[in-house]
Amino acid sequence: MKTKQSCLTLFTIILFFLAGTQIGCNKDNDEPEPGKEQVAWAVGAADSTNYGMILFSSDGGDNWVRQGEGNAALTGIYLNDVWVVDENTAWVIGSENTILKTTDKGQTWTQLNTPQQPPEVELVSISMVDSDNIWVSGSYGTVYNSTDGGNTWTKIQNDVLQNKYIQGIHAMNADVIYCVGGYEGGNTNGFIARTTDGGQNWDSIVPIDNFNQHLWIGITSSGNKHIVYGQEAHYIVSDDGGQTWRNDSVPGTGGTNGADINCLKMLDATTWWGAFDYDEILRTDNSGEYWETQGPAPGPQNMWLLGLDYYNKDLCIIVGSSASSNNGKIIKTGNGGQSWELKLETDAWMQKVSFIK
């Protein structure tokens, strides 16, 4: 069974479990500049302390420090995505319309004002063009854009986005932004929307052979190669900057019809790393012609691996959430995926991880 960890009511959580919802992930795909610190943040659900989980590592994921405990803005909040800007600056988003930012390496987290929404709005994906131009998406067709570093926000209104659960948002540049996900209200199909004018107008992308029957989880890119990925190991690829698309899937993954691709990152146009359901990690070095299974993923089993990010071609961190309890884990490879180490077990679902880029 596919899942997404949510802060909503128990009924809504169960609904999304059945609908196969996951939270998308996206990040720029360039390796860090030489000499950059191996700084990473990981986020997840509220644990027994009732504060949303923020974890910080300054050594490439070997050791993790809890941040944000005692911050009222994190009370009862499930954090769904994180974006690291530099050694000191990171953004996290989550339930109850929550956006927080740190500029001092996580010593303090400040909540930002967002457009007024019903309290059940859940923000699930963040993408940044630069430090000023920020895009956030979530439930009930929610898309926000800020062009002044988060001081003010505009809520994007468009019929294409209405009644959508927008799990993945990805800003290619200031003009071209993609939104992917599914429908609110039990429709299990996926949708893909794109703007080429900075959010003023949006069009739908409809892959051939009814591939939108598959729920979409996220989108990533490297140069002109764009990949939309999602339910039951399915994905579509554009080699020409989104003008044309071809359908594909990852063979041999778990589950009845294949494991969800919960997070896909491109080291470059040909090398991709994926985090899947059922503790599965896969990597391709030839644009998906052949996928190599990595692992096994150490630590507690029966996990959905939900978040992945790399520092370089050797160093990668993955976070996961248990399919049967509230537990989570963080694992790491330092040798390109030949072997993985368990770095932390948590008593909260872990959702996403982000390295400095």
Read off the pLDDT band of 4 (50, 70, 90): very low
Read off the pLDDT band of 37 (50, 70, 90): confident
The pLDDT value recorded for residue 166 is: 98
**Residue 17 pLDDT greater than 80, yes or no:** no
**Structure confidence by residue, pLDDT tens digits, 293-348:** 998 999 999 999 999 999 999 999 999 999 999 999 999 999 999 999 999 999 99
The pLDDT value recorded for residue 216 is: 98
Q: Which of 70-84, 109-123, 277-291 has the lowest mean pLDDT?
A: 109-123
Highest mean pLDDT among 29-43, 114-128, 190-204: 190-204
State the DSSP code for 79: E
The pLDDT value recorded for residue 29 is: 56
Hey, is 341 helix, strand or coil?
Answer: strand
Angle (CA) 206 209 210, round 5°: 55
**Residue 120 pLDDT greater than 90, yes or no:** no
Question: Residue range 90-114: average pLDDT?
Answer: 97
Q: Which domains are present in the chain?
A: 10-355 (2.130.10.10)
**Structure confidence by residue, pLDDT tens digits, 153-166:** 999 999 999 999 99
CA–centroid distance for 46 within its chain: 18
Average model confidence (pLDDT) for the chain?
A: 91
The pLDDT value recorded for residue 11 is: 33
Read off the pLDDT band of 23 (50, 70, 90): low
**Residue 1 pLDDT greater than 90, yes or no:** no
Placement of tokens 């630069």 in the chain: 130
The pLDDT value recorded for residue 86 is: 94
Cα separation, 120 vs 295, whole angstroms: 37
List the one residue out of 62, 52, 31 whose CA is nearest residue 99: 52
Cα separation, 261 vs 258, whole angstroms: 9
E runs forming strands in 139-257 = 143-146, 154-155, 164-171, 177-183, 190-195, 203-204, 216-222, 225-230, 234-238, 246-249
The pLDDT value recorded for residue 302 is: 92
The pLDDT value recorded for residue 27 is: 55
The pLDDT value recorded for residue 36 is: 73
The pLDDT value recorded for residue 198 is: 97
**Structure confidence by residue, pLDDT tens digits, 201-243:** 999 999 999 999 999 999 999 999 999 999 999 999 999 999 9
The pLDDT value recorded for residue 136 is: 98
